Amino acid sequence: MTLKKLLRKGRGTGHEEPPKYTELEKRKIALQRAEQLKRRITEYLEASKHIPTGMSCREKIEAQKKKILALFGATEQDWQDWKWHMRHRITDAATLAKILPLSPEEIEEIERVGKRYRWAISPYYASLLTPGDKNCPIRLQSVPDPRELEDEVGEEDPMGEAFTSPAPAITRRYPDRLIINVTNQCAMYCRHCQRRRNIGEVDRHTPLADIEAALDYIRHHEEIRDVLITGGDALMLSDSFLDWILTELDKIPHVEIKRIGTRVPVTLPMRITDNLCAVLEKHPPIYINTQFNHPKEVTAEAKAACDRLVRAGVVLGNQAVLLKGVNNDPHVMKKLNHELLKIRVRPYYIFHAKNVKGTTHFVTTIDEGLEIMEKLRGYTSGLAVPTYILNAPGGLGKTPLFPPYVISRGPDSITIRTWENRIIQYPNGLPADRRKFPVRYLRKLCFPEKCEYRNCSCPDEQE
Ligand code: SF4
């Protein structure tokens, strides 16, 4: 019997007895399936060879780092000191032009944008820049772009955060959790920042009185079991101040977990010092969500920082932002998630970029986001599949977006689409009469000529 006939042997109307396969036939079917599965990732395997990562660009990063050290007359010891990086953040076009080729027009544009929107790049993050590549994902995220000034559709506060602050320094959008905003400072001011309205002319930590009022609010609301400390970047606080906040939260019996929002593993991994890790280790359970957006950001330094955090008992997650030109490509996003898992960071969310004034040149269509999700689920480990999130305007909360896997639902059955576009009817619970709808034999309803899904890869159509 040919393999095709062998496979057909198991299909039918769903009313026959299960077919009997010999061991040899089962192995033949498994081998054919294995070949079919391998073909599903051929395109990605080829594309992935050409996607730069922080590890594969090691030599280029080292060369750029040398240039920056020479520019500031600094040493390797300085480089390992996060405070040195903060003191030497690049904030003017003339300095940037010494490590990144910029035309006079580009220098003028950066200065013009800088008058409206603040910018700063840590020397570490600048070492990831690829000179000469105007589409470098690091450059797009860090260097001011004239499109920021051309934005006529963005809003200052599309999330309506000003209307979700029931107490000083607090943002509350959900029943059992809230945010304490502890600072407006970051190691770098990302060009796509969704909170850029908070990034003023000067770095400013939240006044102690406001943080005390926020803690008081949490003490008086027993339903709050999860507190996210963020900003800005929560790890811009001193170790001792962070220790104090975490200690105060630990004293509140109903606070079960603390989360910290920070991008320093990406923009300033030197901030993850042994001393900071000793502080974090004292206050379990702590979850840190960071924001890697491109595989090029997953460097040896970032890995070392994540290793230190994991050793301190911190659970790490990633909240990427879907950004046009940076990661709006299924292969790039998959590679990013694979690189993250290698450094023990679990891809958690992909945020659809919000309509924030000065950043809308990064906004993709939702179709692009769904297409990325379509190419992740099934094609790679579930661990590498984050949830695609649209933040509903007006502070109405995160809404997950999924490609349509449920085609229809009825009282007796559900019709689903698998990751390979196989349409299957499945019983809605165990049927009373198994002969009517046997669980083992699911009716196959795929009609490729009627398929409405883009890029249909229906196996029966192709093979
Ligand atoms: S680190 Fe976060 S809060 Fe700070 S500028 Fe970047 S995106 Fe905005």
Q: pLDDT tens digits for 238-270?
A: 999 999 999 999 999 999 999 999 999 999 999
Quick one: CA dihedral 27, 31, 32, 34, positive or negative?
positive
Atom of ligand 1 nearest to the CA of 263: 1
Instruction: Give the distance (Å) from ligand 1 centre to CA of residue 199.
Output: 9
- Regarding the beta carbon of 195 and ligand 1, being less than 6 Å apart is answered yes
Ligand 1: residue whose CA is nearest its atom 7: 193
Distance from Cα 446 to the centre of ligand 1, integer Å: 46
Atom of ligand 1 nearest to the CA of 192: 7
CA separation for the pair 3, 8 (Å, rounded):
9
CA-nearest residue for atom 3, ligand 1, is: 232
- Best residue among 161, 235, 263, 323 to mutate for probing ligand 1, ranked by most atoms within 8 Å of CB: 263
pLDDT of residue 394: 82
Q: Tell me if 193 CB under 6 Å of ligand 1.
A: yes
Which ligand 1 atom sits nearest the alpha carbon of residue 261?
2
Cα 189 to middle of ligand 1, angstroms = 6
Neighbours of 159 (CB within 10 A): 22
Q: In what order do the strands lie in the sheet with 423-427?
A: 406-409, 413-417, 423-427
Q: How much is the pLDDT for 276?
A: 98
Quick: pLDDT tens for 352-384.
Answer: 999 999 999 999 999 999 999 999 999 999 999
Using CA of residue 118, residue 122, residue 126, residue 128, what is the dihedral sign? Answer: negative
What spacing in Å lies between the alpha carbon of 87 and ligand 1's midpoint? 18
Q: Is 190 in the pocket of ligand 1 (CB under 6 A)?
A: yes
Pocket test for ligand 1, best of 118, 182, 186, 198 (most atoms within 8 A of CB): 186
Name which residue sits closest to atom 6 of ligand 1, judged by CA: 190
In the reported structure, the alpha carbon of residue 144 is separated from the centroid of ligand 1 by a whole-number distance in angstroms of 14
Residue to mutate (ligand 1; options 86, 122, 193, 268; most atoms within 8 A of CB): 193
Ligand 1 pocket check for 356: Cβ under 6 Å: no
**Both structure tokens of 62:** 């080292």
Structural contact between residues 384 and 330, judged by C-beta atoms closer than 8 angstroms:
no
Q: What is the pLDDT of residue 427?
A: 84
Q: Which atom of ligand 1 is nearest to the CA of 196?
A: 8
Between the CA of 210 and the centroid of ligand 1 the distance, in Å, is 21
How much is the pTM? 0.92
Q: Helix 366-376 and helix 330-342: axis angle, to 10°?
A: 50
CA angle 310, 311, 312 (to 5 degrees): 85
CA distance 406 to 390: 20
Residue 137 Cα, ligand 1 centroid: separation in angstroms? 16
Please name the residue whose Cα sits nearest to atom 8 of ligand 1. 193
CA distance 14 to 18: 9
Secondary structure of the chain in the HEC alphabet? CCHHHHHHCCCCCCCCCCCCCCHHHHHHHHHHHHHHHHHHCHHHHHHHCCCCCCCCCHHHHHHHHHHHHHHHCCCHHHHCCHHHHHHCCECCHHHHCCCCCCCHHHHHHHHHHHHHCCCCECHHHHCCCCCCCCCCHHHHHHCCCCHHHHCCCCECCCCCHHHCCCCCCEECCCCCEEEEECECCCCCCCCCCCCHHHCCCCCCECCHHHHHHHHHHHHCCCCCCEEEEECCCHHHCCHHHHHHHHHHHHCCCCCCEEEEECCHHHHCHHHCCHHHHHHHHCCCCEEEEECCCCHHHCCHHHHHHHHHHHHCCCEEEEEEEECCCCCCCHHHHHHHHHHHHHCCCEEEEEEECCCECCCHHHCCCHHHHHHHHHHHECCECHHHCCEEEEEEHHHCEEEEECCCCEEEECCCEEEEECCCCCEEEEECCCCCCCCCCCCCCCCECCCHHHCCCCCCCCHHHHC
Please work out whether the CB of residue 191 comes within 6 Å of at least one atom of ligand 1: no
Q: What is the pLDDT of residue 460?
A: 47
Q: What is the mean pLDDT of the chain?
A: 90
**Architecture of the CATH domain 161-401:** Alpha-Beta Barrel (3.20)
Q: How far is the CA of 184 from the centre of ligand 1 (A)?
A: 9
Q: How far is ligand 1, taken at its centre, from the CA of residue 230, in Å?
A: 10
Q: Tell me, what's the pLDDT at 431? A: 66
pLDDT at 422: 85
118 within ligand 1 shell (Cβ under 6 A) = no
Question: Residue 261 C-alpha to ligand 1 middle, in angstroms?
Answer: 10
Kindly give the number of the ligand 1 atom that is closest to the alpha carbon of 230. 3
Task: Give, for all 463 residues of the chain, the pLDDT tens digit.
Answer: 555 565 555 555 555 555 678 899 889 988 999 999 999 999 999 999 999 999 999 999 999 999 999 999 999 999 999 999 999 999 999 999 999 999 999 999 999 999 999 999 999 999 999 999 999 999 999 999 999 999 988 888 887 777 889 999 999 999 999 999 999 999 999 999 998 887 767 788 999 999 999 999 999 999 999 999 999 999 999 999 999 999 999 999 999 999 999 999 999 999 999 999 999 999 999 999 999 999 999 999 999 999 999 999 999 999 999 999 999 999 999 999 999 999 999 999 999 999 999 999 999 999 999 999 999 999 999 999 999 999 998 888 999 999 999 999 988 888 899 999 888 888 888 766 655 554 433 434 444 444 444 444 444 444 4
Taking the centre of ligand 1 as the mean of its atom positions, its distance from the CA of residue 55, in whole angstroms, is 24
235 in contact with ligand 1, CB cutoff 6 A = no
pLDDT of res. 426 = 84
